[in-house]
Amino acid sequence: MEQAGLIRAHLFVSGRVQGVGFRYSTVGAARTIGGLSGWVRNLDDGRVEVLAQGPRDAVDQLIAWCRRGPPSARVDALEQSWEAADGALPPFEIG
């Protein structure tokens, strides 16, 4: 069931994004932005995967943050897709 007013973004972040605190920093950014649920995790291929759900403005802010990442990271690419929001995600965490 889609929830009114919420959107969900599925992101894949490439570059130097593992071993540089990217996941922890993403959780911090999501909590600072507020209103977001979802998770962030490392993938075996070296990318970081992010699933974020919340109000459009909050999701857009997190996407903008993921495009640059923490100071120790180097983001080379960000793949983004949109999915139906269903309210089934936990408070933002490392998955």
Structure tokens at 89: 């995600």
Active site members: 23, 42
Residues facing residue 74 across a β-bridge:
16
Residues facing residue 14 across a β-bridge:
77
**Dihedrals phi, psi of 89, to nearest 5 degrees:** -95, 150
The amino acid at 20:
V
